[in-house]
Amino acid sequence: MDLYNLGRVDWIASQSLYHALALLGREGLIICYPDSPYVCLGLHDDLDHEIDQDFCQSQGIPLLRRETGGGVVYLDDRQIFYQLVLRRDNPLLPLRRTRFYQKFLNPVRAVCRDLGLTAEIREPADLMVRGRKCSGNACGDIGECVAYVGNLLLEFDFQTMSRVLRLPHKTFRRFLRQAMRSHMTTLADWCGPEVAHSRIAGELIRNFAWELGEMVPRIVDRELEEAARQVGERLTSRPWLEIPGRRPAARRVKIAEGTYLAELVVSPEERYLVLKQDETEIKIRIEPFEEVAVDLNAYQGGKSDGSQGVFDS
Amino acid sequence: MAVKEYLIPENLYYDQNDFWIKIEANSVLIGITEEGQKNTGDILYLELAPAGTVVRRGEKIGSIESGKWVGNLTAPLSGAVAESNPAVTRNPRLVNRDAYGEGWMVRLIMDNPDELGLLMGAREYEAWLDEQLKSEEGIG
């Protein structure tokens, strides 16, 4: 397996290189992190529905739409990316593509284990430490290949993540920030902020080699560089970013697998914030023109009543 | 006929992308098989080529997203899209719930009926699925 251990790369390259590998029909594993923050949309996310573009523009946070699944993510240099590109006819790939996540995530679990953390897979593709998400993963068919991509959070900027999303009001935003903090975790939470990219990269490579076989170090050659330049232009172009996507009737943000925050509007005067975690639900009424301060830890939650369909689609 | 727990109706054609194809008067209906929808998982988003789109066999006729996978839907036959099912684009889980019925995706006016010879019948599809499942078990 070709290995591109790239360290810090230009933010566009942190997405465009694996697309380029796939479009060239070349297999490989890329380990990298971006040199500056950006917002990355999933293939079917709707830009207008999802993103506070005025905020992103005012903060100089650029946008990119990837060709893999999952939702909007805020990415920066306190995360490390692992991106595996396999040809669709590679015998490693099972008929059921989501089953490959187990194999893909084993090396990441091993890295956590080396740091003294027990990480469990929450199907299909989240990695959880003590029930909190520390790694998000996605996959998609690109050209004749399948790309499996993920990130491990060294630290996470919950404040900015909650700011880049287009949300109905400040209460939703504040509640989201709290909910993310409660349901997500980072390596810094357990190991302190001193965990270096190079250490994690080294552990990832060692464990991917164990799972996938010998890794052959490569540099980004001219063919790959040119393909990445072209695909990078496309992934950041306005027409590509503005392709319409899913627009659920209710505003809903996925925090981790099985955990969502949504607004339920019964009438203009009767609105609720609903935090759903599997079958458990916390429902809080938002008073008109009044912001609520909520301590999520103070709520036990109750059995879900379905909240009139806000989580159905 | 069933492969393990999956249903494979006898009166349909199949391809290796887990599409079923049903011949009607002068068109074909296309959808994803029971096996295909199970492999894909809960379908969250579907985008289908609008009526009038002309496609060749193997070209994109739509895009699909499940829990953590996105991919293209490729036409099993060449032709013109006569109709795409608005019910499944509004509610993609219809495909999971009723793959051979309300979960149909596209009605196509065939360009070249000879291409039907490139598809599989129910027994061939069953044998192909068995082979795939065995090789997957071998991977572990």
Question: What crossing angle do the helices spanning A100-114 and A197-212 adopt, rounded to 10°?
Answer: 140
CA distance A141 to A73: 19
Instruction: Tell me which residue in A70, A124, A138 faces B41 most closely, judged by beta carbons.
Output: A124
Give how many domains chain B has, as a whole number.
1
Across the interface, of A92, A98, A140, the residue whose CB is closest to B41 is A98
Write down the pLDDT at residue A300.
Answer: 41
Of A43, A96, A101, the CB nearest to B39: A96
Of A7-16, A294-303, B119-128, where does mean pLDDT reach its minimum? A294-303
Place of tokens 């599409």: B19
The CATH number assigned to the domain holding B45 equals: 2.40.50.100
**Do residues B41 and B70 lie in contact, with contact meaning Cβ atoms separated by under 8 Å?**
no
Where are chain A's structural domains?
A: 2-241, 252-309
pLDDT of residue A302: 44
Tell me the pLDDT tens digit for each residue of A206-230: 999 999 999 999 999 999 999 999 9
Tell if the CB–CB gap between B69 and A92 is shorter than 8 Å: no
What value does the mean pLDDT of chain A take?
A: 90
Instruction: Tell me the average pLDDT across A18-30.
Output: 98
Percentages of chain A per state (helix, strand, coil), in multiples of 5: 35, 30, 35
Q: Indicate the fold that domain A2-241 takes in CATH.
A: BirA Bifunctional Protein; domain 2 (3.30.930)
A140 — contact with chain B (CB < 8 Å)? Answer: yes
- Residues in chain B within 8 Å Cβ distance of A70: 68
ipTM entry? 0.81
Q: Look over chain B and give the mean of its residue pLDDT values, rounded to a whole number.
A: 90
pLDDT at position A306: 44
DSSP label at B123?
Answer: H
A98 contacts chain B (CB < 8 A): yes
Model confidence over B79-88: pLDDT tens digits? 999 999 999 9
3-state secondary structure of A174: helix
Tens-digit pLDDT profile for residues A97-146: 767 888 899 999 999 999 999 999 998 889 999 999 999 999 999 999 99
Residue B76 or A103, more confident: B76
Residue A290: pLDDT band (50, 70, 90) is low
> What is d(CA B89, CA B65) in angstroms, rounded to the nearest whole number?
11
* C-beta atoms of B70 and A69 within 8 A: yes
Are A125 and B71 within 8 A, CB to CB?
A: no
Give residue B42's domain range: 2-139
A170/B contact by beta carbon, under 8 A: no
Contact residues, chain A, for B66 at CB < 8 Å: 69, 98
The nearest CA of chain B is from the CA of A159 a distance in Å of: 25
Q: Find the mean pLDDT for residues B7-12.
A: 94
Sequence-ordered list of residues with C-beta below 8 angstroms from that of B64, at least 6 positions apart, any chain: B40, B43, B45, B46, B47, B70, B71, B72, B73, B92
User: Which residue's structure tokens are 């091993």?
Assistant: A110
